[in-house]
Amino acid sequence: MGFMEDFIKKNRITEVECLVPDMSGIARGKIVPAEKFLRILRDRGLRLPEAIFVQTVTGEYPEDDAVTSDENSDIYMIPDERTIRFVPWYEEPTAQVITDCVYADGSPVNFSPRHVLKRVLSLYEERGWKPMVAPELEFFLVQVNKDPDYPLVPPVGRNGRVESGRQAFGIDAVNEFDPIFEMVYDFCEAQDIDIDTLTHEAGAAQIEINFNHGDALELADQAFLFKRTAREAALRHQVYATFMAKPMQNEPGSAMHIHQSVVDADSGRNLFSDANGADTPLFMSHIAGLQKYLPYAMPLLAPNVNSYRRLVPNSDAPINVHWGRDNRTTGLRVPVSPADSRRVENRVAGADANPYLAIAASLACGYLGMAQGLEPTDPVKGSAYRLAFTLPRHQGDALQKFNACKPLKEVLGEKFLDAVTCVKEAEYEAYHRVISSWERENLLLNV
């Protein structure tokens, strides 16, 4: 309380955005005058309806919601003072703070995404372990699209032309949109979002931002805020930034690669390599847990119907959970690295995933492998695309697997699995009510 009050007064903040990441990773919450924010904090006066966490990406609520109370009672927003930051794109001095939600008795809303990540991290903490993560987020810049029936197209760059070819790692291609990225970096610096490398990815006007490695909860907060930031910077240049997994049919999809390692909580020593720099059994078990359980956690890594369009062979995206050393065709890649930065890169998650849930799922699967002492398959040499497609192919299949996995229910919480299921089934049903342009083009006069 004292830190936030000092921040607000010192920086003459006039308004505070109180943010709650919902199931889809959308920022919900309230905007309040700074004076009122400080006043109502003292009596826990910021409230939201409990159903905020089962609101679908379309803004609707599941009819078969068996998770929230019949009364849709209030929950209380508890700001995490460590997350208070400027909102750099407003003229008036404005702050933002990420909040956790609790019931009237002080117990957490155990199906809220940020709590689920905290729950997984507490399991590591009990064993003296601390996960370290470094997300990589891909996204596309596209022209403003006012009619969703029309396909997306890349924006016009400084040279006055639309990028038509693929310019992976192209320096000049990135510079075509330099004003946007300069604003992104400025906005991130003002918010203490610790981004590192910016590169042009394989798609037309597709960009990747790498985050520096660190605490899992803090990096999830940063990734959550970065999505808002990138969209805002692009809009100020009359362009959209989209984190859809597969926004354009002839372009690769966008991923959220998650580099993860585990260190000793006391000494900070990387537990994935031994004194001689060799892989430890704990590292192998972590990989084995990812192999065994990631296919069951797919609703958290590929949460939307569009997510599964990205997971196709020969597309810079995995189709299975084989692992390999410096092998980008596998779902799990072990980069070449010194012993103190030994890690595994989970390449399955899409950019459209909720960062809290994608990181929680990835760490939960690795944790189960370590706790159960699992052993991985042999690493793949050559292309993993020659091997079987073992990930779910669509959202319905993914939800069935998700609900059939008892170990994940124990780690993530049964009520959380129920909440995810009711939200995603409602979205899946809504999707199936829409007739696509492909159906009209190919079936209207031919069948």
Distance CA 374, CA 88 (A): 46
Q: What is the pLDDT of residues 113-154, one digit of tens each?
A: 999 999 999 999 999 999 999 999 999 999 999 988 889 998
The boundaries of every CATH 3.30.590.10 domain in the chain are 121-412
Burial of residue 314 (number of CB atoms within 10 Å: 0-12, 13-18, 19+): exposed
Distance CA 422, CA 233 (A): 34
Sequence-distant (≥ 6) Cβ neighbours of residue 189 within 8 angstroms: none
169's tokens: 């790692």
Domain covering 121-412 assigned CATH 3.40.800.20 in the classification: no
426's tokens: 């409602």
The CATH number assigned to the domain with range 3-108 reads 3.10.20.70
**Mean pLDDT value across residues 37-65:** 88
Distance CA 253, CA 250 (A): 9
22 close to 115: Cβ distance less than 8 angstroms: no
Q: Per residue, what are the HEC states of 396-433?
A: HHHHHHHHCCHHHHHHHCHHHHHHHHHHHHHHHHHHHC
Nearest to 296 by CA among 429, 160, 427, 399: 399
Amino acid present at 81: E
Confidence band (pLDDT; 50, 70, 90) for 72? confident
Helices 355-372, 281-293: crossing angle, 10 deg rounding: 120
pLDDT recorded at residue 73: 86
pLDDT exceeding 90 applies to what percent of the chain? Answer: 83
The boundaries of every CATH 3.10.20.70 domain in the chain are 3-108
pLDDT recorded at residue 1: 63
Q: What is the pLDDT of residues 166-209, one digit of tens each?
A: 665 566 667 788 899 999 999 999 999 999 888 887 788 899 99
141 close to 176: Cβ distance less than 8 angstroms: no
**Which DSSP symbol is given to 156?**
B
Q: H-helix or E-strand containing 365?
A: helix 355-372
Alpha-carbon Rg of the chain, whole angstroms? 22
Residue 164, pLDDT > 90, answer no
Q: What is the pLDDT of residues 338-397, one digit of tens each?
A: 999 999 999 999 999 999 999 999 999 999 999 999 999 999 999 999 999 999 999 999
